[in-house]
């Protein structure tokens, strides 16, 4: 086929930063196509982590000694770097480091939702929501008496925007939507949804877990009130997630976790809260992970987020075309030729997704099979599980070809 490089990214060069991609299983080099679950970590980020522990490790904020000061400055600056990455002009005050997207969702659900929602309120979600937001708001609704409503997903895998306009009303207190669906690959019109939400005095929470890693995201352009994403899906380490929130909202919100670091003054009777963002970072925070995430932002910006987006789109479109040609593959989400994130979920008619994933593993092709934490969406699609290939900056068209060949092996085996 000869497409050894994308026209956009110097993939060969990028791959040198990811030694894990050289691993072989039974003589087969790994083809890592499970990036929507977790991306691999480039050398500069691994080095940052190692360097931090070799040279700078100390607790932050409360130390007056040199190491603590250095660690504090690096950790605090990491917030500014992440703010810049997503266009948050409020800098560190609008960036809270959490464990992952899920914790960021829970933070807002507990700190805001539990206190503000009541039986007259509605939370509007989408049918393609990840369990991280769906389950969280469902439970908060149960506790507060609020109602969850779901924007319909059309046959073509896009949101029914007429339905969105119908169910987002003056009763809506929060609209929580996934930016790029981790199952369908759909890119949702989040700024349009933000406008609709704001017209009804509702807030909007954007789940950016599958968008921030692979396309330019500007929270102020979207006009998101909150945005969440995870470091481990964007070339960063596990154990760090981000919650962006508009400063005035974060100021009004009560803390979610209590303890050290998040307080200003404590007596036996009461306590007052620290400034943003520390008010929401109780206890010793994710210091090394935060610093490493800032490095991952540098790494991705050096490549260029627009180019990353186009590279992923190319791979996804190429995979769609290859799979569509086969005739016995059901593909979920927007059809080839329409805008999409860098992932493709599908089912082979004759082979269960779990069998397929196990068989692909024999060719060292790593994909995911399951419900991808979107069970209600899978119920709607009428399948218990699907296979999903998802791409990142180091994937190539050859790897998509290997995927297609390995799928063919499975087809033969089950024929």
Partner 1 sequence: MGIGGSDMYRQQILDHYKNPRNYGEIEDPTFTHIGENPMCGDEIRMDVVLDESEETIERVAFQGDGCAISQASASMLSQELAGMAVEDLQAMDRDDITDMLGVDISPMRVKCAVLAEKVAQDGAEIYFGEKDIDRTTTEDDD
Binding site for partner 1 (CB under 8 A): 25-26, 351-352, 354-355, 358-363, 370-371, 383-385, 409, 413-414
For residue 198, give Cα distances in angstroms to 120, 326, 411: 18, 45, 50
Instruction: Name the segment binding ligand PLP (CB under 6 A); options: 96-104, 115-123, 316-324, 379-387.
Output: 96-104
CB nearer ligand PLP, residue 368 or residue 411: 368
CB of 280 to ligand PLP, least distance (A): 16
| The binder of ligand PLP chosen from 41, 56, 182, 309 (CB under 6 A) | 182
Is residue 210 at the binding interface for ligand PLP, with CB under 6 A as the rule? yes
- In angstroms, give the least distance from the CB of 370 to partner 1: 7
Establish if 33 lies at the interface with ligand PLP (CB under 6 A).
Answer: no
Indicate which single residue of 74, 108, 132, 134 sits in contact with ligand PLP (rule: CB under 6 A).
132
Q: How far is the CB of 366 from partner 1 (least distance, A)?
A: 11
CB of 178 to partner 1, least distance (A): 22
Report in angstroms how near the CB of residue 106 gets to partner 1 at its nearest. 23
Task: Give me the least distance between CB of 130 and ligand PLP, in Å please.
Answer: 4
Q: Is the peptide bond before 185 cis (omega within 30 degrees of 0)?
A: no
130 touches ligand PLP (CB under 6 A): yes
Contact present, 73 and 227 (Cβ < 8 Å): no
List the Cα angle 370/376/380 in 5-degree steps.
95
- Do residues 44 and 20 lie in contact, with contact meaning Cβ atoms separated by under 8 Å? no
Q: Is residue 41 at the binding interface for ligand PLP, with CB under 6 A as the rule? A: no
Helix (H, G, I), strand (E, B) or coil at 125: strand
Check if the beta carbon of residue 187 is closer than 8 Å to that of residue 180: yes
Pick 271 or 413: Cβ nearer partner 1: 413
Q: What is the number of other CB atoms lying within 10 angstroms of the CB of residue 200?
A: 16
> What are the DSSP E strand ranges found in 71-167?
95-98, 122-126, 147-151
Kindly determine how many residues on this chain lie close enough to bind ligand PLP according to the rule CB under 6 A.
Answer: 14
- The token pair at 409 is 């092996």
Choosing from 40, 102, 289, 347, the residue that interacts with ligand PLP (CB under 6 A) is 102
Residue 101 interacting entry, from partner 1, ligand PLP, none, C-beta within 5 to 8 Å by type: ligand PLP
Q: Are 196 and 203 in contact (CB under 8 A)?
A: no
**Binding segment toward ligand PLP, per CB under 6 A, in 89-97, 116-124, 196-204, 206-214:** 206-214
What is the phi/psi pair of residue 126, to 5°?
Answer: -120, 160
Shortest spacing between CB 409 and partner 1, in angstroms = 8
> Within a 10 A sphere around the Cβ of 339, how many other Cβ atoms?
13
User: Considering the rule CB under 6 A, would residue 178 count as an interface residue with ligand PLP?
Assistant: yes
- The tokens for 377 are 């969406």
Structure tokens, 56: 């700078």
148 given a catalytic annotation: no
Give 117 or 385: the residue with its C-beta nearer to partner 1: 385
Find out whether 244 and 95 touch, Cβ atoms under 8 Å: yes
Residue nearer to ligand PLP on the CB measure, 132 or 320: 132
- State residue 231 phi and psi, 5-degree precision: -65, -35
When CB distances are held under 5 to 8 angstroms depending on the partner's kind, the choice from partner 1, ligand PLP, none that residue 25 binds is: partner 1
**DSSP per-residue string spanning 240-309:** -EEEEE-HHHHHHSPPSS-SSSSEEEE-SS-EEEPSTTGGG--SS--HHHHHHHHHHHHHHHHH-HHHHH
Q: Which does 359 bind (CB under 5 to 8 A by kind): partner 1, ligand PLP, none?
A: partner 1
Nearer to ligand PLP, 42 or 213 (CB): 213
Coil, strand or helix at 17:
coil
96 counts as binding ligand PLP under rule CB under 6 A: no
Site residues for ligand PLP per CB under 6 A: 36, 100-102, 130, 132, 178, 182, 207, 209-210, 230, 241, 373
Active site residues: 373
């Amino acid at each position: 086929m000869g497409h050894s490089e994308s026209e956009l990214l110097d993939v060969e060069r990028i791959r040198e930063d990811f030694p894990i991609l050289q691993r072989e299983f039974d003589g087969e080099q790994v083809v890592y196509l499970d990036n929507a679950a977790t991306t691999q970590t480039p050398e500069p980020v691994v080095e940052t982590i190692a360097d931090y522990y070799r040279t700078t490790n100390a607790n932050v904020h409360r130390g007056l000694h040199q190491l603590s000061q250095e660690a504090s400055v690096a950790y605090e600056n990491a917030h500014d770097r992440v703010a810049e990455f997503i266009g948050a002009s409020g800098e560190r005050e609008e960036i809270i480091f959490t464990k992952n997207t899920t914790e960021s969702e829970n933070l807002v659900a507990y700190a805001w939702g539990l206190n503000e929602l009541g039986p007259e309120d509605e939370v509007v979600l989408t049918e393609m929501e990840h369990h991280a937001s769906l389950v969280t708001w469902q439970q908060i609704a149960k506790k507060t008496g609020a109602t969850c409503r779901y924007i319909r997903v059309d046959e073509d895998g896009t949101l029914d925007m007429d339905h969105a306009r119908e169910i987002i009303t003056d009763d809506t207190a929060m609209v929580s939507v996934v930016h790029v669906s981790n199952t369908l690959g759909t890119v949702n019109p989040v700024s349009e949804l933000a406008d609709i939400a704001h017209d009804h005095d509702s807030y909007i929470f954007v789940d950016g877990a599958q968008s921030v890693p692979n396309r330019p995201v500007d929270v102020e352009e979207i006009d998101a009130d909150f945005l969440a994403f995870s470091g481990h899906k964007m070339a960063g380490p596990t154990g760090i997630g981000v919650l962006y929130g508009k400063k005035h909202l974060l100021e009004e919100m009560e803390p979610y976790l209590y303890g050290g670091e998040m307080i200003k003054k404590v007596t036996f009777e009461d306590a007052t809260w620290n400034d943003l963002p520390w008010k929401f970072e109780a206890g010793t925070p994710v210091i090394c992970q935060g610093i490493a995430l800032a490095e991952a932002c540098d790494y991705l910006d050096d490549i260029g987020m627009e180019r990353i987006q186009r590279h992923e789109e190319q791979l996804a479109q190429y995979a769609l075309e290859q799979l569509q040609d086969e005739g016995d593959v059901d593909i979920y989400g927007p059809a080839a030729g329409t805008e999409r994130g860098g992932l493709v979920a599908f089912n082979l008619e004759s082979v269960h997704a779990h069998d397929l994933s196990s068989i692909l593993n024999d060719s060292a092709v790593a994909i995911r099979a399951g419900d991808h934490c979107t069970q209600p969406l899978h119920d709607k699609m009428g399948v218990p599980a699907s296979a999903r290939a998802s791409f990142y900056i180091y994937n190539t068209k050859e790897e998509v070809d290997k995927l297609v060949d390995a799928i063919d092996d499975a087809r033969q085996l089950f024929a």
